[in-house]
Structure 1
């Protein structure tokens, strides 16, 4: 199905595509898209207008507008791609949760190790300190009452 036919079908059913289902790229996004595509040349044909972009809901809505067997097959594959993308994101969130838990556990262990190391260093410092001078005992006998 040519792009022109798709756009005509979308325009005929514009009420089915609110802004959160479909929108046009702005000039900056369109320029970035054009710079990534070596076949699109503004001076020699190519796309002259910013393309429409469909969200997941917009792609689902396309299936109600387009009825050719090819359009339906493409729509099914796109929906499957969205499901795989969602699963990948969920997997990344699970991984992030596991990393956060690991970080908490390591932090707790480091804190307890820090306390133990501090205690060891304190004991080493005490052992390294010179012993106190022993008290000198007076020479001779102490007589009671005499100091």
Structure 2
């Protein structure tokens, strides 16, 4: 379970896709990022754009800033100092990192054949499935909330109509009482 939490924290949403970055994958597979990227380049035909893409500098800076915020919240240190930012950005010197979608990570299992890589790939695939299940549950809950809001909206309309009808009845009753209590004119009969 701990490994799934560790992997979950390394999944990002970039360009609307859940992805893992090359240096995180290399760390999990216990290989150098350079070695992982060389293996990918030797098998580049297995990695079309929807399996792997290189981050833009803007995307990379956004990921770096999020990483630093996550790291500081874990350690309780909310002050980001220069050394922390440098350390975070040194994870990937020079080149911008590659992002691997779920299919790209699955494809990595075909080119990385070590025991550690195979076991880690299984854990990563399980994590992607777990994240997908959580998102489906959340989507279902969102649909239920939307339905409840619609029902409440309908009930509000019905309650307003009911209040209006009650006010009309009360107004009619008051008018009837006033009519009965009015001073009569004309002949008065003695009872």
Say yes or no: TM over 0.5: yes
Contact between 1:16 and 1:61, CA under 8 Å: does it hold in 2?
A: yes
Contact between 1:40 and 1:47, CA under 8 Å: does it hold in 2?
A: no
Q: More relative contact order in 1 or in 2 (CA 8 Å, sep 6+)? A: 2
More helix per residue: 2
Q: Residue in 2 aligned with 1:34?
A: 64
Unpaired segments ≥5 residues, structure 1: 140-147
| Length, aligned pairs only | 137
Q: Residue in 2 aligned with 1:124?
A: 170
Aligned partner of 1:66 among 91, 108, 112? 112
More strand per residue: 2
Q: Residue in 1 aligned with 2:6?
A: none
**Bigger mean CA offset, 85-94 vs 95-104:** 95-104
In the TM superposition, what is the alpha-carbon distance from 1:17 to its structure 2 partner? 0.4
| Per-residue CA distance 1:111-145 (angstroms, 9 max, x = gap) | 22211111111122233447345663369xxxxxx
Distance 1:41 1:91, change over 3 A: closer
Distance 1:103 1:40, change over 3 A: closer
| Per-residue CA distance 1:33-71 (angstroms, 9 max, x = gap) | 3343532356xx852111000001100100011101111
Report which of the two structures shows the higher radius of gyration computed on alpha carbons: 1
Q: Residue in 1 aligned with 2:37?
A: 7
Task: Please give the TM-score of this superposition, normalised by the length of structure 2.
Answer: 0.63
Task: Please give the TM-score of this superposition, normalised by the length of structure 1.
Answer: 0.80
Contact between 1:17 and 1:61, CA under 8 Å: does it hold in 2?
A: yes
Q: d(CA) in 1 for partners of 2:88 and 2:140?
A: 40
In the TM superposition, what is the alpha-carbon distance from 1:13 to its structure 2 partner? 0.5
**Aligned positions of 1:15-30 closer than 5 A:** 15-30=45-60
In the TM superposition, what is the alpha-carbon distance from 1:100 to its structure 2 partner? 2.0
